[in-house]
Structure 1
C-alpha cells in the first residue's frame, strides 16, 4: 500500500532489543519526549504513512532482515523501510562526511572542518538509496518529508524519480551564512538539491535567512515574499540570533519554495505530568536531602565541542577561585553524554572534561564536599525531571546550537513554590523563544561569571517572575503545536501552495 506521508530520517522509529535466543524485538520508544517520538506523532495522522531509515547489514544484497516491516503501536499503523548499509558506508556518509565535514561548518567551527577523508561518491550513493526507497513508498499525492543535513541530496534525487512529488525538508541544526557554508566544496550541489523542495523548514528566522543568503550566493534564487517576524520570536532584549524579518518563500526557475519557520518543542503535558508523579517527588526529596545546604547547578548536553561543556567547567572553576565563600555551598552536576566515541574530536573533548573535573575536585573538594559531579551516560527522563525540580540553576551555554530542548524541559518541570533559574546562551536557537532566562555570551568570561553569580544570588520573587515567563514561552512552542503547523503546511503543499501563480 502506497503512503500519503513518507518520513525520511536516518534513525529507525523504535528500539531493537536482541534476546538471548538471537531473535530481535522491535520495542516502542519508552518516552514520548524527543525528536523520534515527535516525528512518530505524524504517523497516526495520515491515512497510511511510511518511515525510511537505515540498518546495518554485512551484505546489503542479502541483508538477512526484511527490507520493509509493518508496525502497529500506540502511534498507529505504518510501514518502515530499512536500507541495508554496511558499516563502511555508515562511517563514510554519517561519521565522516556529516560529522567531520558538515557539522563543524553548520556550527561555525571552520578550524575543525576536515575535507580530506570525505568520500563524496559514497555520500551521493547513500542519499540516492534513501531517495529510491522514499519514492517507492510514496503515493502520487504524498508528501515526502526529509530530515536533516546528512540527507541533503535526497530532495534532488526524489525529484528525478518522482517529478510531481511534494517534497518538504526540515533542518534541525543551525544553517550558516554564506561565508561559512561556502567552505564546503559541494555547496552548489547541496543548495540546488534543497531548492528542489516545495518547502524547507528551520527552527528560527535566522537560519531561514542564512539559507536564503546561501541560495543567492550559489544560484539566481530570489526572495518571493517576506514578513515581519512573529512577535513570539522577537525578544525585547535582542539576542545574537534575533531577526526582525522572516523569509516566507523563495522563487527559483519559475517555482516557489516555501520557507517554513517552525521551532519544535517539548512534550509539555507529559513532562508536567511526570514532574508531579509520586516517585519523582520522592526522588526530588532524596536529592535535596543529599545536598543539605548546598545549591545545585545542573547542565545537561552531549559531549561535543559545540556544547560549551569545557567553558561551563572553566566558569565554575573561576567562581570557586574568586568566591571562596561559596565553597561547600554549591555543586555542579554536569551531564555530558558521550557520542561518536570513535571520533578523535569527541574523544579530545571528553578527555578535557574529565581532566577539568578532576582538577576542580582536587583543588577545592574535600571528604564532605565534591564540587563537580560528572555523568557521562544518559539519565532516564524520570530521573532527569527530578534533578530539574531539585536544581536551583540550570546552565545551558552552547557555543552554537540549532535549538536545544533541555532548557525548555527544565522550565516545564519547575514547581511554582520553589522555581529555579535558567542561564541560557544567546547562541542556542531556544534563546529566541524563551523569555525570562539570564542571557549569556559563552565566549565571554565576564558574561559567564556574572550570569552564574546572578543566578545563585537571585531572590525568590525574581525567580518566580522569570520562571512564569519561561514556562509560558515553553507552552507556546510545544511538540503538539509544531505537529499541527507542519500538518497545515503539508495540506497547503497538496493544495498547490508552492506553485507560482500566473
Structure 2
C-alpha cells in the first residue's frame, strides 16, 4: 500500500515540539535546528511527509499538518525510550561511534527494542510514501530502517545520512550485531557521511563483515532469486548551517549592542574565550578547561584580563556518564575560580543551560577566540556558526582536528585536544594573533561557510539520490 507523498523524511524526532495547554488543546512550535531549516522548503515544494517521534512517552498522535508539512508521529513507550533511545542508541552506538571515549554497553534487550522501533519507523514511511517516492532516513537511531523499508517498498529511492562519525572497523567489530547494522544501511541507494574517513570506514566494514564487493564508492548487492542486482553508493556530504540567516542576525544593531554589553558585564577583558557545547563527553570540555587553567596558573593569561565563557547545554541527564561529566566539569570550574578568580571577576563563567539564537549570536560576536576542542565529532556546527556570525572578520577559531569541520575549515587553528601543551600553545597563538592574519583567516572561512550552507548540503545529497533509476514495485 502506497501513500501520497513523493518525498518522505524519516528522523528520530518530528520537526516540531508538541505541547498540551491547560485546556488540553495540543499546540506545536517549530523545532530549531539545521535539518528542519534545510528540509522545510523541500518538503513544501514536494508535498513531503515527516516521520518521527513526538518527544512524549506513551502518547499516540494521529498524523497532522503543521507548517505546511504532513507529520506522521511514531509512538514510543517509556520502556522503549529507556531501551531503544537511551539504551541502544545512546549507551551502545553513541560511544562506539565516538571512538569508545566511554565504554559502550551491549544488551540483547536493548537490541531487540532497537529492532522493533526501527520496524515501526519503516512501516510508517512505507505507508506515507507514494509510488516511486524518495525517502531520506536520518542518523544512527534508525540504521535498520533502509533495509526494512526496501522489503516493504522496493519501488522507492532510499537515502540515509549518518550525522555522527562512523567508527574504524576495529572498533565497529565490537558490536555483536555488526552485520545486521551493515545490512540495514545497505538497504539504501545512497549512504551519506560527514567525512571521507567515515565513508572509508563504512566501506571497510562492508568488506570485512559481508560478502558484497566494493569498487570505489560503490557496493554491489548481487541478484538473488527475483531480486535484481543493485548498487549502493557511500559518499561524503558535509552538513552545514543556515549561514545567511545567522549572518544577517549577527549584523543587527540589537545583536551588536548586546555583544558590547556582554564584554562590559565581564569587565571588558583583553581576551574573551568562548566554548559552546552540549554537555557531552565527546566535546573535550574538560581538556579545554585544563589547558586554560594551566595558562592562568603559569600567568601566560591573567584574570580578569582574560576570561573563558563556557556554555554547556544539558544533555541526556538520566545517563550515568553524563551525570559524572557534569560533576567533574563543575568541580574543575569551581577549583579554577577559587584559585584565580576575584570578587566579581571569575576566570570561567560557566552556564549549564541553553540560550536563544539572538544571545548566541551576541556571544559569538563578543568572543575573541572560539574554542571547539571535540575529542570526536561528526561535524560540529558551532564552529560554522561562529564563522557565520563574524561579518566583522574579527575572532579566531581554534578547531579540533577530530571534528568533521576540520576537513573544510583549514584556515582555523587546528589542535589535538589530547595534547594539552599543544592546545595551550594554540590558544596563546589565537589570543595574540595579528589582526591582519586573523581577518585573512576569517575571510577565507566565511567564504566557505556562506557558500556551502545547509541548503547546498541537502540539495547535493538529493541530487545524487534522485539520479538513481526508478524500480518496479516487485521484489
Please give the range of the TM-score, normalised by the shorter of the 2 chains. over 0.9
Q: Does 1:216 align with 2:207?
A: yes
User: Once the two structures are superposed, what CA deviation does each residue of 1:60-92 show, in whole Å capped at 9, x if it has no partner?
Assistant: 7xx3x32x1122x2xxx3311111211111111
Query: Which residue of the partner structure matches residue 251 of structure 1?
Result: 220
Q: Does 1:70 align with 2:70?
A: no
User: Once the two structures are superposed, what CA deviation does each residue of 1:100-128 show, in whole Å capped at 9, x if it has no partner?
Assistant: 11111101016511114752221111110
**In the superposition, relative to structure 1, how do residues 82 and 459 fare at CA in structure 2: closer, same or farther (>3 Å)?**
same
User: Once the two structures are superposed, what CA deviation does each residue of 1:320-360 show, in whole Å capped at 9, x if it has no partner?
Assistant: 01125523211000111111111101010011110100000
Q: How is 1:125-144 mapped onto 2 (pairs within 5 angstroms)?
A: 125-144=116-135
Q: Structure 1 residue 183: deviation in Å?
A: 0.6
Give structure 2 stretches of 5+ with no counterpart. Answer: 223-228
CA distance in 2, matches of 1:157, 1:192: 10
CA distance in 2, matches of 1:390, 1:180: 40
**Which residue, 367, 377, 382 being the options, matches 1:391?**
367
Q: Does 1:12 align with 2:14?
A: yes
CA distance in 1, matches of 2:269, 2:346: 14
Query: Which residue of the partner structure matches residue 238 of structure 1?
Result: none
Query: What is the TM-score with the length of structure 2 in the denominator?
Result: 0.93
Q: Structure 1 residue 389: deviation in Å?
A: 0.7
Q: Structure 1 residue 132: deviation in Å?
A: 0.4
CA distance in 1, matches of 2:56, 2:374: 36
- How many residues of Structure 1 are paired with residues of Structure 2 in the alignment? 462
Q: Does 1:367 align with 2:343?
A: yes
CA distance in 1, matches of 2:153, 2:356: 42
CA distance in 2, matches of 1:146, 1:192: 15
DSSP-derived class of the 2:54 partner: strand
**Which residue, 285, 292, 295 being the options, matches 2:268?**
292
**Which residue, 254, 261, 267 being the options, matches 1:279?**
254
Q: Does 1:27 align with 2:29?
A: yes
Q: Structure 1 residue 161: deviation in Å?
A: 1.0
Query: Which residue of the partner structure matches residue 226 of structure 2?
Result: none
CA distance in 1, matches of 2:415, 2:29: 40
Q: Is the 8 A contact 2:37 2:242 kept in 1?
A: no
Q: Does 1:50 align with 2:19?
A: no
**In the superposition, relative to structure 1, how do residues 27 and 120 fare at CA in structure 2: closer, same or farther (>3 Å)?**
same
CA distance in 2, matches of 1:26, 1:35: 18
Task: State which drifts further: 126-135 or 249-258.
Answer: 249-258
Query: Which residue of the partner structure matches residue 333 of structure 2?
Result: 357
CA distance in 1, matches of 2:261, 2:20: 34
Q: Structure 1 residue 261: deviation in Å?
A: 1.4
CA distance in 1, matches of 2:361, 2:286: 24
CA distance in 2, matches of 1:6, 1:435: 35
CA distance in 2, matches of 1:350, 1:372: 15
Q: Is the 8 A contact 1:288 1:390 kept in 2?
A: yes
DSSP-derived class of the 1:357 partner: helix
CA distance in 2, matches of 1:20, 1:462: 56
Q: Is the 8 A contact 1:106 1:175 kept in 2?
A: yes
Q: CA RMSD in A?
A: 1.7
Q: Does 1:166 align with 2:166?
A: no
CA distance in 2, matches of 1:424, 1:97: 30
CA distance in 1, matches of 2:75, 2:416: 43
Q: Which portions of structure 1, spanning 4 or more consecutive aligned residues, are displaced by more than 3 angstroms? A: 55-60
Query: What is the TM-score with the length of structure 1 in the denominator?
Result: 0.89
